[in-house]
Amino acid sequence: MHEARDLAAGILWAYATQGAWVREGLEAARERLADPRDRGLLTELAYGVVRRQGTLDALLSAGARRPLKDLDPEVHVGLRLGLYPALFLDRVPDHAAVDHAVGWVRRRAGARAAGFVNGTLRALLRRRAGEALGREDPLRDVPREDGSALRFAEPVFSDPARDRLANLAERWSCPRWLCARWQDAFGAARLGAILRAGITRPPVTLRTRVARDRLAAWLKERGVAFDAGPGEAALRLGGQEAAAAEAVRAGLAWVQDATSQRVVPRLMLAAGQRVLDLCAAPGGKAVQIADRLGTGRLVAVDVDAAKVATLEALAPQMGSVAYEARRVPPEGPLPFEPGSFDRVLVDAPCSNTGVLRRRVEARWRLGPDDLSALARVQRDLLARAFSLLAPGGLLVYSTCSLEAEENEEVVAAFAAHEPAARPREPLRIFPSAEADGGFSVVIARA
């Protein structure tokens, strides 16, 4: 456990000081841990601290004697790493969380910095009053993933009477500008549901590649708890990654969120069709296309060589489908004949605002100006892909975003300049405890 905490601290330090991606750091660090429990703790600490970063910093601002902006990075990382498990992981004793944080800071920044971390954390944790009971107190209550809240003895958050959005941003760990956007677009009730979903751990959801009853029986034989997820092919596990990996290796299932599973069926695939999967990495939807296609041709493309290598490795999963993974240029015409595909999937790069609990850094890296820049890329992808669609064919445009600029507005702008485009059946799904958020629309070619 000590090594797992040290590895988590290193990942969080690289994230805070170098802008490193937490996921990439985790992939390397997990290989150094043999015990699944250690790997689980490492993942929980690294993702959890970043997911609840806004709340942690609000509490630390209320409890520290110095402004957070004036702290050395090692001290700031240590404070977050010590506070997160003490507040949100019931199985981790306070003393273990604080002692490790203090020790790590001492090794990195010296005894004086360690003393500051020790005093700040212990003083802040003494201010807890226990589980919040009765009516919610937005000045003192820290929401937890399970729907409960931890109450502090005195106010620790911004006064909602003066700035309700600032209070929501702090308690639910989300940038204020995003809270304001979602309230304007969807209303206060929907904003609350989105924020609640954003602090949850994403479920492990399987897409069945065999009859669902067969996979259910296979899971029962191994004592794996599960329930039926949204959609006809989804089974949701109780966070059991090892069982999910075994089911994938056995060819029985693929790990894929329930909302993601709903995109490919919108292509209305039939045997023998020619299908292009644009922006295909890491390949979950490509495998789903092959499973539904049975026979035909599938070309999965991406602009990054490493991602194309990942797509190439999926060839054994494609059954009788003629499968090809190719690298394509990021700009200009795609290297295929016009009208050469019956179906095209454009799963466009986006802001990820529908999957913030998975892409934990995205909320902190994203800014308002990024949405317009992404929309330009998305419109370009849509135009390049549509030229390859045969008359009478279908294109599905999808994102993991909730933002109109990346969804309805992209499609409307494209259709206004493409007389053969016939958009229909737009579908927006909001994030929930059961599934991610996202958007998709079917575009037929007249």
The residues with which 301 forms a beta bridge, in sequence order, are 326
Closest CA to 433 of 212, 243, 258, 188: 258
Res. 150: pLDDT tops 70: yes
Is the residue at 423 inside a domain? Answer: yes
Same domain, 234 and 326: no
pLDDT at position 239 = 66
Q: What is the pLDDT of residues 339-390, one digit of tens each?
A: 999 999 999 999 999 999 999 999 999 999 999 999 999 999 999 999 999 9
DSSP state of 378: H
Is 400 annotated in the active site?
Answer: yes
Is the residue at 185 inside a domain? Answer: no
Kindly list the strands in the beta sheet with 141-143, ordered across the sheet, starting from the edge strand earlier in the chain.
Answer: 128-131, 149-152, 141-143
Domain limit, last residue, from 126, 156, 182: 126
Q: What is the pLDDT of residues 201-250, one digit of tens each?
A: 998 999 999 999 999 999 999 989 898 877 778 899 876 778 888 999 99
Is the residue at 190 inside a domain? Answer: no
Q: What is the pLDDT of residues 279-331, one digit of tens each?
A: 999 999 999 999 999 999 999 999 999 999 999 999 999 999 999 999 999 99
**What CATH code is carried by the domain that includes residue 315?**
3.40.50.150
Same domain, 226 and 269: no
Q: Answer whether 269's CB lies under 8 Å from 275's CB.
A: yes
Same domain, 251 and 284: no
Q: Answer whether 347's CB lies under 8 Å from 381's CB.
A: no
The parent domain of residue 20 ranges over 2-126
pLDDT at position 179 = 98
Res. 275: pLDDT tops 90: yes
**What CATH code is carried by the domain that includes residue 233?**
3.30.70
Burial of 175: CB neighbours in 10 Å, binned 0-12, 13-18, 19+: middle
Q: Answer whether 218's CB lies under 8 Å from 247's CB.
A: yes
Closest CA to 161 of 138, 145, 181, 140: 138
Domain limit, last residue, from 126, 142, 161: 126
Same domain, 274 and 359: yes
Kindly list the strands in the beta sheet with 253-255, ordered across the sheet, starting from the edge strand earlier in the chain.
Answer: 226-228, 234-237, 204-208, 253-255
Same domain, 282 and 416: yes
Q: Which of 174, 179, 279, 400 is catalytic?
A: 400
Same domain, 229 and 292: no
Apex 84 CA angle, 43 and 146, nearest 5:
80
Res. 422: pLDDT tops 90: yes
Average pLDDT over residues 95-119: 96
Is the residue at 74 inside a domain? Answer: yes
Pairing of the two strands 389-399 and 128-131: unpaired
The SS3 of residue 324 is: strand
Is the residue at 131 inside a domain? Answer: no
Is the residue at 19 inside a domain? Answer: yes
Res. 72: pLDDT tops 80: yes
Pinpoint the alpha helices (H) of 111-211.
111-126, 164-172, 176-186, 188-198
- Rounded percentage of the chain residues whose pLDDT exceeds 70: 100
**What CATH code is carried by the domain that includes residue 6?**
1.10.940.10
Same domain, 283 and 431: yes
Average pLDDT over residues 21-44: 91
E strand map for 201-316: 204-208, 226-228, 234-237, 253-255, 274-278, 297-302
Domain limit, last residue, from 83, 108, 126: 126
Same domain, 249 and 299: no
Mean pLDDT, the chain, whole residue set: 95
In angstroms, the CA 268 to CA 442 distance is 10
Same domain, 114 and 222: no
pLDDT at position 231 = 74
Is the residue at 138 inside a domain? Answer: no
Phi/psi of residue 422, nearest 5 degrees = -130, 85
Query: What Cα–Cα distance (Å) separates residue 335 from each residue in 331, 338, 385?
Result: 11, 9, 11
Same domain, 311 and 409: yes
Same domain, 276 and 402: yes
The SS3 of residue 107 is: helix
Total domains in the chain come to 3
Same domain, 420 and 284: yes
Is the residue at 39 inside a domain? Answer: yes
Split at pLDDT 50, 70, 90, the class of 1 is low
